[in-house]
Each structure stands twice: as C-alpha cells, then as structure tokens.
Amino acid sequence: MKAKVHITLKNGVLDPQGKAVEHALHGQGFKGVSDVRQGKFIELKLTGSDKAKAKAEVEEMCKKLLANTVIENFSVEVTD
C-alpha cells in the first residue's frame, strides 16, 4: 500500500513563502493568481493490507512527527 500525505498551513497562519511565490508569479505575467499557499507532500510505502488501519497509523505519524498541528493541517490518502 501507499499513503499520500498533504500538509498545509492552517487558515489564518501567515505564509510569507506563498506570498513571495505569488508576487513572483505576478512578475511573470500570471495576473489572475491570488492566495498562493505553500505546503508539503509526503509519500509513504506501507506493509499490510488493511487500509483503514494504515490510514489511522499514518494520521498518528502526522500528529507525532510529519506535521506540526500548531500551524499545520494534514490529510491522508491510502491507495494500493
């Protein structure tokens, strides 16, 4: 099984990197862009076949290490 983890900044947490990327995009002529938010994508390979159990385990990994829940949200998707 594989797990895909998306980690994003919570609403209300300033994202200066996202802002800088947005300004750079405007500078490149992409005028219709706003609210750029930067995050992380982590892919994991897992043993076993119980998807629900795997998802719960990866969520535990997010809480303990992969994300900092003071400022970040995470979402987990488990596939074959």
Partner 1 sequence: MRAGVVVFPGSNCDRDVAVALSQSTGKKTAMIWHRDTDLPDLDLIVVPGGFSYGDYLRCGAMGAHSPVMQEIKRRAEKGTRVLGICNGFQIITEAGLVPGVLMRNAGLKYVCKDVFLRVEDSQSAFTARYNAGQIVRIPIGHGEGNYFADDETLDRLEGEGLVAFRYATPTGEITLDANPNGSQRNIAGVFNKSRTVLGMMPHPERLSDPKLGGTDGRAMFDALVETLA
Helices of type H across the chain: 16-27, 51-61
Q: How far is the CB of 33 from partner 1 (least distance, A)?
A: 18
76 binds partner 1 (CB under 8 A): no
Nearer to partner 1, 68 or 75 (CB): 68
Tokens 């200066």, located at residue: 16
Report how far residue 41's alpha carbon sits from residue 4's, in angstroms, rounded to the nearest whole number: 7
41 binds partner 1 (CB under 8 A): no
Residues in the chain, overall count: 80
Residues that bind partner 1 (CB under 8 A): 13-14, 16-17, 20, 64-66, 68, 70-71
